[in-house]
Amino acid sequence: MTARPAAHEGGPARHARFLIVGPQGSGKGTQGVVVAKAFGVPQVATGDIFRENVSGGTDLGKRVQAIIEAGDLVPDELTSELVRDRLSQPDAEYGFLLDGYPRNRGQVADLDGFLISRGEQLDAVIELAVPRAESIARLTQRAIEQGRTDDTEEVISNRLAIYERETAPILDDYRARGLVARIDGVGTLAEVTDRIFSSLAVRGLVPAHPGAA
């Protein structure tokens, strides 16, 4: 599966199916909201999907809650099922921006299978590149501001190590498909946002609602 322009004769993208990937502290949650709004597609974050299904008492949510209450991690199979269910909703018909999924190569395969079954494919994978020291500094500052005493530098470093071990390698797979737009994530919110839109524009991906950004 290879990249394909989603623009129509230089106009706004007819569909926009994006992933946004980066280490904790890269700002992907904030940038994801901006990009999704500009393209008129939902930002789909796995954490939100879990919470919405649990609070809504759905069958999937009950399965998630039982696993969490048992102190276990939600398995890839169930996570992928939750994502498929969310992407099948009407508001995601013409696109989405996925944040927090896929996290590993198994989930990449699950997402590939789902998109192929619908005759769809990703338009771009936005990689927010931030040095490890910068991520640690941002997360440490956030922990101080939010009074999260359990977020020590050791805990933060461990989370980053998990990202580097499990999630970062999926970028190699997407890079081989020509999908990765690597963005320098250091700078002001506006500077990073401008870099994202400039990189997407080169790929023929123009937001339908640029003023929303």
pLDDT along the chain (213 residues), means of 10: 43 83 94 96 92 91 88 87 95 95 96 97 97 92 84 86 93 97 96 97 87 60
- How many other C-beta atoms are found inside a 10 Å radius of the C-beta of residue 76? 16
CATH at residue 31: 3.40.50.300
The answer to the question of residue 142 being in a domain is: yes
The answer to the question of residue 25 being in a domain is: yes
pTM: 0.86
Q: Is 65 annotated as a binding residue?
A: no
- How many other C-beta atoms are found inside a 10 Å radius of the C-beta of residue 149? 8
Overall domain count for the chain: 1
Q: Is 118 annotated as a binding residue?
A: no
Residue in 18, 28, 20, 17 with CA at minimum distance from that of residue 185: 28
Q: Is 28 annotated as a binding residue?
A: yes
The answer to the question of residue 83 being in a domain is: no
ω into 169 cis (within 30 of 0): no
Q: Is 61 annotated as a binding residue?
A: no
User: What per-residue confidence (pLDDT) applies to 102?
Assistant: 97
The answer to the question of residue 188 being in a domain is: yes
Under DSSP, the state recorded for 165 is I
Tell me which residue range forms the domain holding 40.
16-44+95-202
Cβ neighbours of residue 186 closer than 8 Å, sequence gap 6 or more: 130, 131, 134, 192
The answer to the question of residue 38 being in a domain is: yes
Q: Is 140 annotated as a binding residue?
A: no
The answer to the question of residue 104 being in a domain is: yes
The answer to the question of residue 79 being in a domain is: no
Q: Is 47 annotated as a binding residue?
A: no
User: What per-residue confidence (pLDDT) applies to 11?
Assistant: 63
Measuring CA to CA, how many Å separate 126 from each of 19, 73, 88, 100, 149?
A: 6, 26, 22, 12, 31
Q: Is 187 annotated as a binding residue?
A: yes
The answer to the question of residue 7 being in a domain is: no
